[in-house]
A and B are shown apart, each in its own frame.
Chain A
Amino acid sequence: MCGTDSKLGEMRALILVGGYGTRLRPLTLSRPKPLVEFANKPMLLHQMEALVEAGVTQIVLAVSYRAEQMEQELSDEAKKLGVSLVFSHETEPLGTAGPLALAKDILGASDEPFFVLNSDIICEFPFKDMVAFHRNHGQEGTIVVTKVEEPSKYGVVVYGEQGRIHSFIEKPQEFVSNKINAGMYIFSPSVLRRIQLRPTSIEKEVFPDMACEGQLYAMELQGFWMDVGQPRDFLTGMCLYLASLRQSSASALHFGPGIVGNVLVDPTAKIGQGCRIGPNVTVGPGVVIEDGVCVKRSTLLRGATVRSHSWLDGCIIGWRSVVGQWVRMENTTVLGEDVIVKDEIYINGGQVLPHKSIAASVPEPQIIM
C-alpha cells in the first residue's frame, strides 16, 4: 500500500444531493432530505463525518434547488467538523455525471483522487479502503459494489478477479452477478475530461466507456448497505445501522427496563413506565413516550409525542407530531411534521402530510392529504 494519512490530507468529495427528495415524502415536505434525521443525525451528516474521518477537507454538495435552511444548517455542521463546504447549484438537473463537470475547478484543483457519492446511501463508509484500493490498481476509477439477494431488480456489475470491471447489465433475467453499484466512487481527476457540462448519467454514459478501456475497478463493500431514500428502506436501513452500531459502539445504544434489542434514544427524550421499546427503534431529541407504549421498528423524530397505551410498528413519526392514546399504527405509516392522531385511531400504511389532524381510522394504506 502506498497511501498514507498525510497524502489523504488534500482530498475532496462531491455528494449528489439532487432534487426535492420526493421519494421520502411526506417528511421532505418539511425538511430537505439531507437534513432528515436518520438514527438521530441528519442523513448527510453521516456521510460528511465519514469523509472528514477519511481526511477529506473540502466537500461539494451538488443540489438542483436552493434551500437556505439546508445551507445554513449544513454550513454550521461543516464548521464544527472543520471541513470546507461548497454548494454547487445546478440551474437544470444535470443527472449523476453533469455535477462533476460543474464542480470541475474544485475537484480538479489537485492531483489527488476525489470521492463521489449518492446522498441516500447508508453503510459503514469505507473511504480509507477506497483510497488504498484505488491507488493500488492505479487506474481512473473505482466503484464500490455491494451484494444483493435479488440482483434482477438492479443493474449488476460484472468484474474479474482483481476487480477490473467488464460490463454493466441492467436488470439481468439470468444470474450473472449479485453485485450492484453501491453509489460510492473514487476517481482520479483525469476522469473529468470525459464529462461534459450537460445532463448526463454517470452509470449509463460514462462508466461503460471507462470499463471498455480497463479504467474502472470494483471494490467489494463489507457489511451492510442500504439506499434509504424511501420510507420502507429508511426503516430497513435503520435496523441495519443499529445492528452495526451494536458491533462498533454498543455504548451508544440504550439499555434499561422495557428496552428490547437495538434502540437508540436521545438523552433529552422521556420514556414512561411500563413501555416496551424495541427492537430497532430510534427516539429523537425531546420525544415524549408516555406510559404503557409499545414501539417496534420505528423512528420518532425530534419533539414527537406518543401518548399512553399506543402501539407502533414500522412507523416514522414526524417532528412534533402527537400520537394519541390507544392508537395502533403499522405497515410503514409515515406522519409528516406536526400531525395529530386522535385517541384510539388505527392507521395501516398511512402517509400523512404535515399539519394534518387524523380523527378517523385509516384501515388500508393510503395517502392523507
Chain B
Amino acid sequence: MLKAVILIGGPLKGTRFRPLSLDIPKPLFPVAGLPMIQHHIEACVNVPNLKEILILGYYPTSELTQFVADMVQEYKVNIRYLQEFTALGTAGGLYHFRDQIRSGNPEAFFVLNGDVCADFPLVEMLRFHQEKKASLVTIMATEATRQQSVHYGCIVQDRDTSEVTHYVEKPSTFVSTLINCGVYICSIEIFQTFAAVFNTRQQEYYNDASGNGNRKEAAVIYLEIDVLMPLAGTGRVFALQTSNWWSQLKTAGSAIYANRHYLELYHSRHMDRLAQEDFVGEKEKEKEKEKRCNIIGDVYIHPTATVHTTATLGPNVSIEAGAVIGPGVRIRESIVLSGATILDHSLVLHSIVGRGSHVGQWTRVEGTPCDPNPNKPFAKMDNPPLFNSDGRLNPSITILGCSVKVPSEVILLNSIVLPYKELTRSFKNEIIL
C-alpha cells in the first residue's frame, strides 16, 4: 500500500504569488481549470494501490475544507488536510505527522512539493524505487542549464547505479546540471532518519544551557539540507532523471506558463477538458457553430462560464466558473478567474484577470511573457524579481487582483493591480496599489 503527501506550506509563503494569493491560498489557484494541487492529486490517484493523500501545511483548516471535500467526492480516495501548528520545514512536518503517514503500514509514500507543476512520473518513480532495494529516497530529477542549476538542489549521480553520490542545495558555484524537482518517493524507513535528525536537534537544544535555544526551531527539519545532503553518498538515495515537463510555480507569472503546459497534457489524458472545434457531421457542425465561440489551440472553458459566439479564445486560455466573455473579445495566453467579466471587443494577452474583475469595451490588457528561453535546451522558467537593478518594474504578465475594474478603451500594459482597485485611465509598467 502507498500514500502521498503534498506539502503546501502556509500563508507566509508564496508572497511572490501576490496579488493572486491575497484572496485565495496559492495551492488552490486554478491552472488549466484545476486548483494547482489538484494536478498533484490527479497524478497520485493514477498510481495503483495508493490509498491516501495527505495535504500538509499551515493554512487554517477552514481554507482547505471545501477543497478537500470536493476532492474526496471527485476521486473517491482518502484525502485529509493536516495542519502544522507552525512552519516545521519540509521534513519537520512529515516527522510531526509520522503516525498519520505510517498508519496502515504503507511500504512507501510520495512527497510532492505543492509549488511545482509537472507531468509527474509517479508510476515510473515507484517502479524505479522498488528496483533499488537499498533506496530510502528516490528523487525526481531533471536537467537544467549550467547557469540556472545553481538556483536549485543539485545532484551528482553515479551514471551506472543512479545513486546520488553528492547533493547540495542552491550552491554558489556550479556543481551539476541535474536538479531536484521537489518530488520524492520515500520508503517508510525514512522516519528512522528523520528521528535521528530530530533527536540530534533536541539534544543540541537541551545541551545548550544558555537558554538562547528556540524549542520551535529545534523541530524544524529540511528534507533537502538535513536529510538528503547527509544521505548522499551512503547508497541510500537515488535519482530518477526524467525528461517530462517540469517547472516551479513560484511567481504569478509562471502560472501562465504552467497553464499552457497543463492544457497540453490534457491532449493525452483529458481531451474532454479542452474546448474544441466540433468534429461531428457537417450538419451538426453548422448547429454547433451557432453556439460556440472561436477556439484556437488549447482552451479550457468552465461549464458555467458564458462566452459569446463571436469571441475568439486561445491558444492557452483558461476561463473559470461564471466568467462572462462578451462579443468580439479576444483572449490569448491568459487565465480569466471566476466571475470576471470582459466586455465587447477587448483584448487580453499574457494576463491573469482576477476573480470578479471587470474589463470594459475596447480595452487592451496585455502582459509580457517570461517563459524559459525556447532556444536553450533544458532552460527553466526564470523567476525574476519584480524590480530590476535600476529600480524599474521588470516587464511581466499583467495581473488584475480580485474585483478590479478596468474602464473602457484603456490599455493596461505589464502592470499589476491589487484587489478592489477601480482604474480610471491607462497604465504601463506600474504596480497599482
Residues of A whose CB lies within 8 Å of any CB of B are: 274, 291-294, 308-309, 311, 313, 325-326, 328, 344, 346, 363
Q: Which stretch, B149-157, B252-260, B343-351, touches the partner chain A?
A: B343-351
Cβ-neighbour of A363 out of B328, B361, B428 (below 8 A): B428
With A326-B347, A346-B411, A363-B428 known as contacts, the answer to whether A294 contacts B328 (CB < 8 A) is: no
Partner of B345, one of A294, A313, A344, A363: A294
CA distance A344 to B347 in the complex (A): 8
* B25 CB, min distance to chain A CBs, angstroms: 34
Q: Is the CB of A311 within 8 A of B332?
A: no
* Known interface pairs A292-B328, A344-B332; A311-B344 also in contact (CB < 8 Å): no
Interchain CA distance A104-B23 in the complex, whole Å: 81
* A293 CA to B328 CA, complexed, in Å: 10
Minimum-distance CB pairs A-B, first 9: A309-B345, A292-B328, A311-B362, A326-B347, A326-B330, A309-B328, A294-B362, A292-B345, A328-B364
CA distance A363 to B362 in the complex (A): 17
User: How distant is the Cα of A256 from the Cα of B140 in the complex, in angstroms?
Assistant: 66
Give the CA-CA distance A326 to B332 in the complex, in Å. Answer: 12
- Inter-chain CA distance A291–B411, complex, in Å, is 21
| A311 CB contacts on chain B under 8 angstroms | 345, 362, 364, 409
Which residues of chain B have C-beta atoms less than 8 A from A293's C-beta?
345
Choose one: B349, B411, B413; the contact of A344 (CB below 8 Å): B349
Contact of B330 with A346 in the complex, beta carbons under 8 Å: no
Query: Complex formed: what's the CA distance from A193 to B355 in Å?
Result: 79
- Bound together, the chains give a CA A309 to CA B409 distance in angstroms of 11
How many residues on B have C-beta within 8 angstroms of the other chain's C-beta atoms? 17
List chain A residues, Cβ under 8 A from B411. 328, 346
Q: What's the nearest-Cβ distance from chain A to residue B331, in Å?
A: 10
**Chain A residue at minimum C-beta to C-beta distance from B366:** A346
Instruction: Give the contacts of B394-431 with A (CB-CB under 8 A).
Output: 409, 411, 413, 428
B35 within 8 A of A: no
Closest chain B CB from A343 CB (angstroms): 8
Q: List 15 A-B contacts (CB under 8 A).
A: A274-B327, A274-B344, A291-B328, A292-B310, A292-B344, A294-B361, A294-B409, A309-B362, A311-B345, A311-B362, A311-B409, A313-B409, A326-B347, A344-B332, A344-B347
* Complex Cα gap A344–B180 (Å): 39
| Chain B residues in 8 Å Cβ range of A325 | 330
Q: Which residues on B sit within 8 Å (CB–CB) of A346? A: 364, 366, 411, 413
* Contact partners of B349 in chain A: CB under 8 A: 344
A229 to chain B, nearest CB (A): 29
Q: Write out the residue numbers on chain A whose beta carbons fall within 8 Å of the beta carbon of B347.
A: 309, 326, 328, 344
- Bound complex: CA A293 to CA B362 (Å): 8
CA of A363 to CA of B327, assembled, Å:
26
B286 to chain A, nearest CB (A): 21
A293 to B, closest residue via Cβ: B345
- Complex CA distance for A313 and B310, rounded to whole angstroms: 24
Interface centre among A313, A326, A328 (most CB of B within 10 A): A326
The B148-196 residues at the A interface (CB cut-off 8 A) are none
Chain A contacts for B344, CB-based, 8 A: 274, 292
Could you tell me the distance in whole angstroms from the C-beta of A17 to the nearest C-beta in chain B? 39
